[in-house]
Structures are given as structure tokens and as C-alpha cells.
Amino acid sequence: MKVIRVSRNTYEYFLLYTIAILVIILSGSVPVSLANGVALTRILSFTLIFISAIYIVRALINKRWVRSFVLSVLVLGMYWLINYIRYSESGFNLLIRFAWFITLFIMCKYVKFRGLDFEKCLYHIILILSMIAFAFFIIINFVDLSLPYTTVNNEGFIYYNYFGCFYVSPTYYVRFLGILIYRMQSIFWEPGVFAVILNFAIYYFVFIDKKKKKLQLFVLLFDLLFTASTTGICVGICLVAVYFYRSRIIKSLRLIISLPVVLIAFRIVYVVWTAKKAATSYHMGSYFLRANDIIVGLKLFASHFLIGVGYRNTKAFELAQGLGRGSSNGLITWFYTMGIVGVVLVMYPFIKNILLTKKIKDKIELGIFFLLFLILNMTEPIYSAPIMVYYVAREYTKSFY
């Protein structure tokens, strides 16, 4: 009888792909975003922590990164205590996020030490979701083929669930060539969240992926376009402009065409953004609400500068805003809930890595990613999602390896 042996790397990547799947699902998928999805969210959260904690156990056994582990526990523990005194209602949620950070932080160290590639795992999962979304989107909107689906009711908000791997909502639609079609949202509760995820994948394709396959970029951009997320599309256009600027085809003509490429990209972004502004600047329109969220959030931040109003204390924002809705701006939410101490904890590793990197090319790439991180956090309240926690943990790994 032949014994099938599983290689060490196969096992390692099985763990990493499992973690990547959990990170994506917990970062805004419909099932975990439902009002009755609390139990599922906690199960998946604890599963993510449990699997990622394998790397902490390995680190402690091999006496590696013990100092990093202890220091992160102490710093975050102190901050958690301060926040608990400030706003105890969010104590459990913040504890979970800090547990995500610590386990993912040590995982990043282990992955770097072993020469593994967790970024590739994340990219592949997003790419698979993008391809599935692409296929369902074409079939449902253009082929007009009736596929079986179930209806998910989230306190009056309806989703159509196609086999658990693609969702649409009649609330989110856009007019394309005179036809009303559902906006692209994949498994996520809102098209804008999918746009955030897609832009991280596009960044990976442009700056990190060594084997660039143009079909993959086409699918990612197609999906991004039909999310109809204004900021997401603008960011995607800028990343694509960088891709063409860096491509081998035009490398020899870079100085000649760089200005036209920049001007064209800027013009497209300007047209898309101003069109959105013109269409939604009316009272209670999308642009009006987003601009108002920034103003109200910054006022709260100024009045609670040091430690903020407390993690997830959206009641303070709703009271100050007076419109009975939460903030649409994740970055500003982080500012007014966590104060300057929380802002420094998040931004410090990005800035440190940029400043300490010697090569200009690497500085530019790190700067672009930091800008991407900030802008995408401004588009959706996704600042506390595992994918954002992971990127912060990754930057700390670079700073304290």
C-alpha cells in the first residue's frame, strides 16, 4: 500500500490559505454582517485566532520573537484597559481585534522567517471570488438566465443568495447602456466593501506579483467597474496607470509618455469624482452625507483628542450628527473613537518603514500602499476588519523583525 506523504510546505500553505479565507469572510461578507450573524462571527473569529495561535506556540517553543509577543501583549493590554475605562461596552470587541493583531503579527514573523507567501494566499482567494462574481454577474445581468437563489432578509434589507458564493441586492443597482443591473458585490454586504478588497488585489498584481497574467487584471477591473464605487474606481484607475507606466512595453518611452499617462488618469478620476459629486451633493445625498461625516468626525476628534470617545462608540457620533446614522468614513471613525494614541499605533509602522527604507523605488511603493490603506479606509467602515488588522500587523513585522 502506497503511503501519501504531505510535504511541510503543503501543510504550511493549507494553514495560510485557511487563515486567508477566514480573513476575507470576516471582512464584510453577508453572513457575518447580518443582524443575526453574531454567533457565526464569533465562531469564525475564534477559529481565526485559534489557527493563527499555532504560530505563537511555535514561536514560544523555539524561543523566537518572545520579546515581540510580550511587548505587543503589554502595549495592547494597557490600551485595552484605558479604552475599557472610557467605554466598557466595546471591551469584548476590542479584545478580539487585539487578539487578531497579536496572532497575525506573530504569523507574519513566522511566514517571513520561513520564506512563505501569505500575500499570495490572500490574492488567490480574492481572485477566485472575483472570477466567481464575474461569471454570476454575466449570467444574471446579461445572459438573463434564471438561477435558483434564496432570499436573505436583514431587518428589511433584502439579499438574493446564489449558492452561498454570490449575493446581489435590489437596493444596489446601476444603469448600464440603458439597462438596470445589479451592482457587483460578490459575497460582501455592500459593493463598496468588495471595491476595497479588489483594490488590494490590484495593488498586489501591480507591485508584487511576478507572474502577471493580464486576464486576471481584466477580471479584477471588470468587477471593480461594476461595483460602481466612485472612490474604488478612482483608486483602481490610478493603480492601473502605475501598472502601464511600469510595463516593459513602454519602459523605453517612459519619459515621453509619463506626463500624458498622468494627465489622462487624473482627468478620468476628476470626471468620475465630479460627476458623483454633482449627482449626490443635494441634502442627504451620498456626497453630502460623506462630507458631513468627515466634518462631524473631526469635531469629535478635536474634542476628545487624546484617547477618543471609545472604540466602537458610534452613539457619540450619532448624537453629534443628529441624523440617526453611523459614519461612512472608517478612517475618521478611527480618529474620533481611538484618539491620537490609537492613530499613532496604527500609522507608526507605515511611516517608520517609509522613512527607514533606503531605496527610492521601495519608498515610493511603501508610500503608495500607505496612501492606498488610508484612502480605502476612508471609503468604508472597514477599519476594524481582519484584512486591515493584518496589514497593520504586516507593517509592524517589517519594523520589528
Residue 151 placed within a domain: yes
> For the chain, how many structural domains are there in total?
1
Amino acid 273: pLDDT: 52
pLDDT > 90 in the chain, percent: 56
Residue 244 placed within a domain: yes
pLDDT 10s digits, 78-94:
999 999 999 999 999 99
Residue 108 placed within a domain: no
Mean of all residue pLDDT scores within the chain: 86
State the residue range of the domain holding 162. 135-277
Residue 224 placed within a domain: yes
308 vs 248: which has the higher pLDDT: 308
* Residue 367 pLDDT grade (very low, low, confident, very high; cuts 50, 70, 90): very high
348 vs 62: which has the higher pLDDT: 348
| pLDDT > 90? residue 32 | yes
| pLDDT > 90? residue 236 | yes
Contact 90, 312 (CB under 8 A): yes
| pLDDT > 90? residue 191 | yes
Amino acid 270: pLDDT: 53
Residue 126 placed within a domain: no
Residue 336 placed within a domain: no
Residue 365 placed within a domain: no
Task: Report, as an integer, the average pLDDT of 272-297.
Answer: 62
Amino acid 187: pLDDT: 97
Q: What is the 3-state secondary structure (H, E, C) of the chain?
A: CCCCCCCHHHHHHHHHHHHHHHHHHCCCEHHHHCCCCHHHHHHHHHHHHHHHHHHHHHHHHCCCCHHHHHHHHHHHHHHHHHHHHHCHHHHHHHHHHHHHHHHHHHHHHHHHHHCCCHHHHHHHHHHHHHHHHHHHHHHHHHHCCCCCCEEEEECCEEEEEECCCEEECCCCEEEECCEEEECCCCCECCHHHHHHHHHHHHHHHHHHCCCCCHHHHHHHHHHHHHHCCHHHHHHHHHHHHHHHHHCHHHHHHHHHHHHHHHHHHHHHHHHHHHHHHHHHCCCCCHHHHHHHHHHHHHHHHHHCCCCCCCCCCHHHHHHHHCCCCCCCCHHHHHHHHHHHHHHHHHHHHHHHHHHHCCCHHHHHHHHHHHHHHHHHHHHCCCCCCHHHHHHHHHHHHHHCC
Residue 112 placed within a domain: no
Buried-state track 12-21, b at ≥16 Cβ within 10 A, e below 16: ebebbbebbb
| pLDDT > 50? residue 248 | yes
Record the pTM: 0.89
